[in-house]
Amino acid sequence: MTWSTGLAGLAVGLLIAVVTAPVGVSGAVFLLPVQLSVLGVPSPAITPTNLLFNVVAGPGALLRYRREGLLLSPLTRRLVAGTLPGVVIGAVVRVFAVPGATAFRLLVAGLLMPLGLWIVARTLRPARRTPAAEPSARTITGLSFVVGIVGGIYGIGGGSILGPLLVGRGMPVAQVAPAALASTFATSVVGAASFALLSLTGSGDIAPDWYLGLSCGLGGLIGGYLGAHLQPRLPETALRLLLGVLAAALGMLYAVQSLR
Give which of 244, 107, 228, 224 is closest to 165, Cα–Cα: 244
Residue range 189-212, pLDDT digits in tens: 877 777 677 767 665 556 667 777
Question: Do 198 and 95 form a contact (C-beta atoms < 8 A)?
Answer: yes
* Distance in angstroms (rounded) separating the CA atoms of residues 127 and 124: 8
Give which of 24, 82, 12, 9 is closest to 247, Cα–Cα: 24
Least confident of 26-35, 73-82, 226-235: 26-35
**Residue 129's pLDDT is what?**
46
Q: Positive or negative, the Cα torsion across 110, 182, 36, 38?
A: positive
Biggest alpha carbon–alpha carbon distance for the chain: 57
Mean pLDDT of 70-96: 80
pLDDT score of 131 more than 60: no
More confident of the two residues 224 and 102: 224
Question: Do 209 and 173 form a contact (C-beta atoms < 8 A)?
Answer: no
**Residue 206's pLDDT is what?**
60
Residue range 47-56, pLDDT digits in tens: 777 778 888 8
Which residues are CB-neighbours of 137 under 8 A, at least 6 positions away?
A: 74, 78
More confident of the two residues 117 and 26: 117
Burial 150-164 (b: 16+ CB within 10 A, else e): bbbbbbbbbbbbbbb
More confident of the two residues 51 and 143: 143
- Number of C-alpha atoms within 13 angstroms, CB side, residue 83? 36
pLDDT score of 18 more than 50: yes
Residue range 25-47, pLDDT digits in tens: 777 777 776 766 666 665 656 77
Which residues are CB-neighbours of 209 under 8 A, at least 6 positions away?
A: 1, 35, 41, 45, 49
Burial 28-53 (b: 16+ CB within 10 A, else e): bbbbbbbbbeebebebbbbbbbbbbb
pLDDT score of 172 more than 60: yes
